[in-house]
Amino acid sequence: MIRIKRRSPTDPKYSNSPGRPRTIEHQQSIIRPKVVLGNKEKKGMTMNFESFNLHPHIESGVRAFGYTEPTPIQIQAIPPILQNRDVMGQAQTGTGKTAAFVLPILQRLMDGPRKRIRALIIAPTRELAEQTHEAIGQLGRYTKLKSVTIYGGVNQNLQISKLRSGADIVVACPGRLIDLMDKGLIDLRRIEVLVLDEADRMFDMGFLPDIQNILKRLPVQRQTLLFAATMPDDVRDLAESILRNPVTVQVGDGVPVSTVSHAIYPVDPHLKTSLLMKILGCTDTASVLVFTRTKDRATRLAKQMKRSGFLVTALQGDLPQNKRQEALDGFRSGKYQVLVATDIAARGIDVSKISHVINYDMPDTVDAYTHRIGRTGRAARTGDAFTFVTRPDRAFVWSIENVLGEKLERRILANFDYTIPAPAAGKGSGRLRPSGKRPGLTKVPKETPARNAHSSSPASGARRGRKDLSQFPFLVDSPQMKSRRSHGMR
Ligand code: AMP
């Protein structure tokens, strides 16, 4: 298994080179950034958090949280935010972008009145809102500043009573926030700083009208910060209309974090579940996040895996909030080693030790691939991303390769019978045949050591029940890859 070496967050290689195209069709829409680098970073010196001159209580919170060096997005974004500039940040999850805006907000709020809502952070999902709230709690633990989360799917009374007892920062999802504004239950007249976090995802989820509605009702005099993993045209238009002379900072250019190694597994659709369980049984994994395309598939797959003895749970948008929280907490604590999720439900999951992201189903867009993969390799840890590829996914593989600028490793799993025919229609197509004993999740079974279990060599594919890559003709190289090779590139 290829592993990319762990890097220091300030390693210049950690931030991908600006200006690298994401996809051909998006190439035009990428904002060309004016990247702001601290002087020390320019000289290649190591930076520490003391360089930001944060309030000692905030510095203590940073230390207590275990951060020693700021990440590139923090180095770029914190100084201009501290200078009260509007900022447009292109940074995906996993880069440390939350602290990049939370720390200067805490700094601003240290002076001035308490228990008045002076900062508003808008997030697309409850999970992201909760994580941001937690980060504020951790980083601001010595500041006595209070944050409150506001989102739907839970009773609003508790949120209202927390607001009444006084908050300095609100982290909200758009829908419930508008409800409370309409009912006069939240006072946003003193907002000094607004953050739109994961703005691209808010667009994907159709929140633009809500955002515009909220923006109209906020003080005009304010600092505005907009963060997004990718900058399609609609996000750029919004940014241009609401940010005043912004400083643009960028890490990654929409390319998945570089601490992640990527591999694809060609497979017929009816064998996906058994392939997944086989991979988990013979790979050294810690926490595994599996993505399916639909809520129903997430639920069904988790049930099938549970029956086979995996410590697994599902996270999908139809679950009530308490169940979602239980699934997330259980995944974080290690009670569940596998979390099967849909894209939207998984948005913002911050479990720092996810070792593997497995795309059971291909995502719909390259951006969604980036977001999914951003769940592993967080904050300079290493991770592996496996993607199951069926025949119709071929063009998509090409798009991802185009964005990454390299060919994805194709893998065939040894000791896996790729020749089992699909069951007749209506007889449980894609369902797992009982495997008996639960495969070890963290232990590698002796008969299939991880280093030998994955193979793309024709020799290992020659035995009965195996395939080699030539038997998956749809995985030929993309025209771009062929041309790169003919020009002597990777
Ligand atoms: P984010 O991109 O904000 O979701 O952060 C991803 C993960 O990186 C979270 O678990 C953060 O707590 C962690 N993190 C953020 N900044 C740092 C830092 N300077 N050093 C180490 N970990 C960090």
**Domain ranges for the chain:** 49-250, 260-489
Tokens coding 58: 């905030």
- Kindly give the pairing relationship between strand 354-359 and strand 287-291: parallel
Closest CA to 285 of 411, 373, 383, 413: 383
Q: Supply the pLDDT for residue 156.
A: 94
CATH of 49-250, one of 3.40.50.300, 1.10.580.10, 1.20.58.1610, 3.20.20.10: 3.40.50.300
pTM of the model: 0.57
Whole-number mean pLDDT of the chain?
78
Q: Supply the pLDDT for residue 449.
A: 33
Residue 442: pLDDT over 80: no
Between 383 and 46, the more confident residue is 383
Between 318 and 258, the more confident residue is 318
- By CB atoms closer than 10 A (0-12, 13-18, 19+), residue 437 is exposed
Question: Identity (one letter) of the amino acid at 73?
Answer: I
9 lines ligand 1 (CB under 6 A): yes
Atom 19 in ligand 1: which residue has the minimum CA distance? 70
33 lines ligand 1 (CB under 6 A): no
Pocket test of ligand 1: the residue of 46, 59, 67 to mutate, having most ligand atoms within 8 Å of its CB, is: 67
Q: Supply the pLDDT for residue 456.
A: 46
174 lines ligand 1 (CB under 6 A): no
> In the structure, what pLDDT confidence band is assigned to residue 258 with cuts at 50, 70 and 90?
low
Tell me how far the alpha carbon of residue 268 lies from the centroid of ligand 1, in angstroms: 37
67 lines ligand 1 (CB under 6 A): yes
Tokens coding 43: 């000289």
Q: Supply the pLDDT for residue 351.
A: 62
Residue 272: pLDDT over 70: yes
Q: How many residues does the structure list for the chain?
A: 490
- Looking at the chain, the whole-number percentage of residues with pLDDT higher than 90 is 44
Closest CA to 214 of 84, 318, 121, 143: 121
Tell me how far the alpha carbon of residue 26 lies from the centroid of ligand 1, in angstroms: 28
> In the structure, what pLDDT confidence band is assigned to residue 368 with cuts at 50, 70 and 90?
confident
Pocket test of ligand 1: the residue of 71, 227, 260 to mutate, having most ligand atoms within 8 Å of its CB, is: 71
Domain 260-489 is classified in which CATH homologous superfamily? Answer: P-loop containing nucleotide triphosphate hydrolases (3.40.50.300)
Residue 292: pLDDT over 50: yes
Identical fold at 49-250 and 260-489?
yes
- Looking at the chain, the whole-number percentage of residues with pLDDT higher than 70 is 72
- The pLDDT tens digits for 98-151 are 999 999 999 999 999 999 999 999 999 888 899 999 999 999 999 999 999 999
Question: Identity (one letter) of the amino acid at 137?
Answer: G
Which residues are within 8 A (CB) of 341 and not within 5 positions of it... i.e. 6 or more apart? Answer: 289, 290, 291, 292, 298, 314, 315, 316, 349
Residue 426: pLDDT over 60: no
Report yes or no: 258 and 20 within 8 Å, Cβ to Cβ.
no
Q: Supply the pLDDT for residue 93.
A: 75
> In the structure, what pLDDT confidence band is assigned to residue 448 with cuts at 50, 70 and 90?
very low
Mean pLDDT of 292-304: 94
407 lines ligand 1 (CB under 6 A): no
439 lines ligand 1 (CB under 6 A): no
Q: Supply the pLDDT for residue 444.
A: 32
Residue 89: pLDDT over 60: yes
